[in-house]
Structure 1
């Protein structure tokens, strides 16, 4: 799904959302230059894989947090982790670098991506790209996790 298809999908499923259109941003530092409705709820998204390239994970945390992959791995009983390649990102979620988003999991036809959401989002809003990095979609995080579960991907809400 591209951005417009993502909006159509959300409307079709009667999901309330708001959108901030903005210039393309490729990392969290660039977000400081765009105006967002709820900057405190913007998500940083890390697409990672294990050392055997068998398991893929998307970790979404509040934008101001850092994720220690070694610590994350130990806490969740995973193999050694590193960032997935741009080729994997495109092949699995249909996304390009800078556009990583949990909504891209809806493009994961093989249900390979395991989603980890920072527990701080539970009961709150989350801001994520609509599969393109020139907009931010604001929606309830609980609805987002429901969509991903309904799609068939594994979801864990964890403290990060």
Structure 2
């Protein structure tokens, strides 16, 4: 069973990481997010759940405005050839979320560490990062350094890389 938002918040609290969360109607796209978010300071995420031909999985978290070259990104992230978007069933199995709610916080559900995560360098230049807390009905704000601590606490490497053009 995937972790709940409450379990995520408890995990963050156990790490001594403070966050703030704003509730809102479900958001499925960056455009939805921009239209309804109001004034939440910091960098806002766009998350790409990708797979390569050898069924290696990747989560690439970038700024909402970022342009990502999907024909070239495999070179940067060490994928076996070109990547495609992972199927919804694998998204749920590995990160415990549905399409439209993809989030770096989903790493809490990847106990087998099958997903390699990449945080874009430009996104991480923000003091505060905003992401869905396992649901697209809320936005959680977390300090960028604490986001790295969270990723590492899930057993993943927090690879910060320039993936945007």
> RMSD between aligned alpha carbons?
1.6
Bigger CA drift: 36-45 or 79-88? 36-45
Q: Name whichever structure is richer in helix by fraction.
A: 1
The 5-angstrom pairing of residues 29-108 of structure 1 reads 29-38=31-40, 41-53=43-55, 55-79=56-80, 80-108=82-110
Structure 2 alignment gaps of length 5 or more: none
Per-residue deviation, 1:129 = 0.5
- TM-score for both structures, normalised by structure 1: 0.91
Summarize deviations over 1:38-81 as a string: whole Å, max 9, x none. 3551100111011121x111001100112112221123442220
Per-residue deviation, 1:140 = 1.2
Matched, 1:16 2:27: no
**How far apart in 1 are the matches of 2:76 and 2:70?**
10
How many residues are treated as equivalent by the alignment?
159
- TM-score for both structures, normalised by structure 2: 0.89
2:8 and 2:108 in contact (8 A); partners too: no
Structure 1 alignment gaps of length 5 or more: none
The equivalent position to 2:139 in structure 1, one of 131, 136, 160, is 136
